[in-house]
């Protein structure tokens, strides 16, 4: 494309340059009212600062008006040769003149790097790590980052001063920093200038804390799923409506709880337990190392079912803090807080359901969530109520959780709105883990727009209960019912748009013989059902040619199926010479996926190499799907030989050389590979005297000197004959009769073969 520079009412010449890329404008003042303007290529490559155009003697005009009009600033530094660089975009020049071409100058400020945002170490934080990792958010337009770390907020003698590449967002020093308070910042740099982050501070303190009324949260740790900190771990459980993750333990369990703090950092630690009333258990410092103290308490569980909620209370003089479960409530690690958050850990003392059919379903172990991909997959798009929208092509897997061995079986009851039909799907036990069973079933895709309403039926002996949506009908998590209120979840299957058919697979034999029929099965899928498919094309071609080559018996064949017409051979023909129509079959219109079978045979001279298969399906809306399958089968070597004579007759006298009266023998060969015609004899002639086999000669042209003296070994008379169908070559036979040969009748056997 052409661009043209335009400023101060003056057009430059057309310049063949890309539009919408950076250029450099250099404005040079001279005299009192003249400018020279040079335009350079600004892209950062080998052509950087290549001169594009020079425009002389622009008049200064009114500076303020010019600057506003062209968004161009010129620095008058007090001399007549001051100049200023800027960056700008150039729009494509419209030769029709519909729009005036303009130069859009962009100030340096808009090209400056954006401000880096610091992440860690956090501002004002304290760490015992003397090689902390510094992290920040990646900004825009930077060419480099500069990281500065100093014990002086003026950064007069930084301990760390490194230049880092663009897009770097972290740095870990390799040299340990001494204990101190440090200040750090990150500077984003490019040719336009620099942009500094805020200055943050942090403290490195590797000396263990002391009892000083200050609890170091970073050293506190507990994990309800780690047997060192909570033993026995028990079985994880999620309950509803509490929606809290905890640990289930047998009645009367003795539970050991440990928590870690920095060495000598706290005076005491307590476990606050709510059993229906508050219970405080003092923890003892069990052991210590140079870095941490480990506190321990043992509690005895009740003999009857009960839920106990606990949290840790840590005290250091007048500083009291709390360690509780984090949010979301998933158990395991927790978090420190200044005040109780209510996120206590749960211990549920109870007896598991019996592993038998006892007519008792334990409701508290049953769980399903239509908005959770583990329980419903794919989840779909949430609706305002009842359930979710899913594609009409979705096969949806549903799972429901129960206590291990608590129920005999689970079912999904589905109501199909279009058919006004109830369908019961039996679920199978797919997962058993951590004291639970997960039952699973996959619903078939309706392949059309429809509303399916579903709920769960749980059975144990004669006991039947139901898991359905809540009264609020908000989908997601449901609850158990003794009698079904028919609060089913909804799967709103959406209409299936007309999509292109797909070629999923092609099946062929591994090895194919020329002139022998074989089946090619083409697997077609159309989500709008196969009655939407109007054409299926099949191309077989050797690895020596392309798919788009012309049809010929050597290396390229095309076949097709057309609705209403059936199967035909497109080429090489003639007719259906290479297609056995009676052995072909089309897919089932009522399915979305099925096979089209083409029964074909290749010509005798089909190239003996690996062959590729290409297939295409076309639907009623002319949407197409195609696929190529390389090296699907290998064509074997084909050889066919016929001779016009099956006997030879020689008649002559002693001392004569005579030719066979069958003169010559005509060999007709069909082969898909270059070939040889070989001959040999069975042995010396049989008769009243001696007549050696070598006295028999073979020749291509029937003239002396003869090409071969026949022996009992194969010899090639014709070599490297080009492949083809019905290729003919002559074999001339001669017999040299020695003068001392005993007269009489002699016989022998000669062989002709074709080799490749």
pLDDT tier, 99 (very low <50, low <70, confident <90, very high otherwise): very low
Say if domain 502-635 classifies as CATH 2.60.40.10: yes
pLDDT tier, 630 (very low <50, low <70, confident <90, very high otherwise): very high
Q: pLDDT tens for residues 432-470?
A: 987 789 999 999 999 889 999 999 999 999 999 999 998
pLDDT higher than threshold 60 for residue 505: yes
pLDDT for position 18 = 55
Task: For the chain, report the end-to-end CA distance as a whole number of angstroms.
Answer: 60
Q: Determine the Cα–Cα distance for residues 709 and 69; give it in Å rounded to an integer.
A: 102
Domains 502-635 and 639-755 alike in fold = yes
Q: Which of 455, 456, 441, 431 is closest to 398 using CA atoms? A: 441
Q: Determine the Cα–Cα distance for residues 479 and 465; give it in Å rounded to an integer.
A: 11
Cβ contacts of residue 68 below 8 Å, gap of 6+?
none
Cβ contacts of residue 672 below 8 Å, gap of 6+?
514, 554, 604, 605, 606, 607, 608, 635, 637, 638, 723
Note the CATH number of domain 363-493: 2.60.40.10
89 in Cβ contact with 22 (< 8 Å): yes
Q: Is the peptide bond before 241 cis (omega within 30 degrees of 0)?
A: yes
pLDDT for position 487 = 94
pLDDT for position 8 = 47
Q: Determine the Cα–Cα distance for residues 694 and 692; give it in Å rounded to an integer.
A: 5
Instruction: Tell me which of 3.10.290.10, 2.60.40.10, 2.40.50.140, 1.10.760.10 is the CATH number of domain 117-204.
Output: 2.60.40.10
pLDDT for position 64 = 35
pLDDT tier, 84 (very low <50, low <70, confident <90, very high otherwise): very low
Record the tokens describing residue 746, joined without a space: 């002699």
pLDDT for position 94 = 42
Q: Determine the Cα–Cα distance for residues 422 and 178; give it in Å rounded to an integer.
A: 74
pLDDT for position 34 = 56
- Top mean pLDDT of 185-199, 213-227, 405-419 is at 405-419
CATH superfamily of 217-349: Immunoglobulins (2.60.40.10)
pLDDT tier, 343 (very low <50, low <70, confident <90, very high otherwise): confident
Residue holding tokens 């030769």? Answer: 95
What CATH class is the domain 639-755?
Answer: mainly beta
Q: Determine the Cα–Cα distance for residues 386 and 547; give it in Å rounded to an integer.
A: 52
pLDDT higher than threshold 70 for residue 107: no
**Other residues' Cβ atoms within 10 Å of the Cβ of residue 423:** 14
What ranges do the domains of the chain cover?
2-111, 117-204, 217-349, 363-493, 502-635, 639-755
Q: pLDDT tens for residues 734-749?
A: 999 999 999 999 999 9
């Amino acid at each position: 494309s052409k661009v043209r520079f335009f400023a101060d009412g003056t057009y430059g010449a057309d310049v063949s340059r890309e539009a919408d890329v950076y250029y450099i404008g250099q404005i040079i003042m001279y005299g009192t009212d003249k400018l020279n303007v040079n335009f350079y290529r600004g892209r950062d490559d080998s052509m950087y600062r290549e001169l594009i155009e020079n425009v002389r003697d622009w008049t200064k005009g009114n500076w303020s008006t010019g600057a506003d009009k062209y968004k161009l600033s010129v620095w008058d530094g007090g001399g007549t040769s001051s100049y200023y660089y800027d960056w700008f975009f150039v729009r494509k020049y419209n030769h029709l003149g519909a729009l005036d071409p303009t130069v859009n100058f962009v100030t340096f400020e808009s090209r400056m790097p954006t401000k880096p945002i610091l992440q860690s170490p956090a501002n004002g934080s304290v760490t015992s790590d003397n090689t902390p990792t510094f992290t920040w958010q990646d900004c825009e337009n930077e060419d480099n980052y500069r990281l500065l770390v100093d014990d002086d907020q003026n950064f007069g003698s930084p301990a760390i001063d490194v230049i880092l590449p663009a897009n770097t967002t972290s740095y870990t020093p390799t040299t340990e920093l001494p204990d101190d308070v440090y200040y750090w910042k990150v500077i984003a740099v490019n040719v336009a200038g620099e942009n500094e982050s805020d200055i943050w501070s942090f403290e490195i303190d590797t000396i263990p804390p002391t009892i000083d009324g200050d609890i170091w949260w970073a050293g506190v740790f507990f994990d309800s799923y780690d047997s060192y900190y909570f033993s026995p771990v028990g079985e994880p459980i999620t309950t509803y409506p509490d929606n809290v993750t905890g640990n289930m333990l047998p009645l009367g369990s003795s539970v050991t709880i440990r928590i870690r703090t920095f060495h000598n950092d706290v005076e005491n630690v307590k476990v606050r337990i709510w059993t229906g009333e508050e219970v405080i258990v003092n923890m003892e410092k069990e052991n210590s190392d140079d870095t941490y103290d480990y506190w321990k308490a043992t509690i005895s569980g009740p003999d009857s079912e009960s839920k106990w909620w606990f949290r840790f209370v840590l005290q250091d003089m007048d500083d009291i803090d709390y360690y509780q479960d984090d949010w979301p409530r998933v158990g395991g690690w927790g978090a420190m807080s200044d005040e109780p958050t209510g996120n206590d850990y749960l211990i549920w003392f109870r007896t598991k359901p019996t592993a038998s059919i006892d007519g008792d379903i334990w409701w508290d172990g049953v769980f399903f969530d239509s908005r959770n991909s583990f329980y419903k997959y794919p989840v779909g798009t949430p609706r305002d109520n009842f359930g979710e929208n899913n594609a009409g092509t979705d096969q949806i897997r549903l799972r429901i959780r129960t206590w291990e061995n608590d129920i005999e079986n689970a079912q999904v009851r589905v109501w199909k709105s279009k058919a006004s039909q109830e369908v019961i799907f039996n679920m199978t036990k797919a997962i058993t883990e951590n004291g639970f069973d997960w039952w699973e079933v996959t619903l078939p895709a309706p392949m059309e727009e429809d509303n399916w309403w579903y709920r769960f039926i749980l059975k144990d002996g004669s006991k039947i209960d139901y898991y359905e949506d809540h009264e609020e009908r908000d989908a997601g998590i449901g609850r158990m019912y003794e009698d079904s209120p028919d609060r089913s979840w909804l799967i709103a299957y959406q209409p299936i748009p007309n999509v292109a058919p797909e070629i999923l697979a092609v099946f062929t034999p591994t090895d194919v013989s020329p002139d022998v029929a074989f089946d090619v099965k083409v697997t077609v899928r159309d989500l709008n059902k196969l009655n939407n498919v109007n054409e299926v094309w099949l191309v077989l071609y050797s690895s020596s040619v392309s798919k788009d080559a012309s049809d010929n018996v050597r290396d390229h064949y095309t076949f097709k199926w057309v609705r209403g017409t059936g199967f035909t051979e497109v080429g090489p023909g003639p007719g259906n010479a290479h297609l056995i129509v009676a052995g072909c079959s089309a897919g089932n219109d009522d399915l979305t996926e099925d096979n089209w079978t083409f029964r074909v045979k290749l010509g005798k001279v089909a190239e003996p190499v690996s062959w590729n298969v290409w297939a295409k399906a076309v639907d009623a809306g002319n949407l197409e799907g195609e696929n190529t399958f390389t090296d699907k089968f290998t064509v074997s070597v084909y050889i066919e030989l016929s001779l016009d004579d099956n006997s030879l007759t020689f008649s002559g006298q002693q001392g004569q050389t005579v030719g066979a009266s069958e003169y010559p023998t005509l060999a007709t060969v069909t082969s898909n590979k270059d070939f040889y015609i070989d001959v040999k004899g069975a042995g010396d002639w049989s008769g009243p005297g001696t007549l050696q086999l070598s006295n028999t000669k073979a020749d291509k042209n029937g003239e002396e000197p003869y090409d071969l003296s026949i022996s009992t070994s194969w010899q090639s008379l014709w070599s490297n004959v080009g492949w083809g169908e019905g290729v003919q070559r002559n074999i001339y036979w001669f017999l040299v009769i020695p003068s001392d040969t005993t007269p009489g009748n002699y016989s022998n056997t000669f062989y002709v073969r074709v080799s490749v």
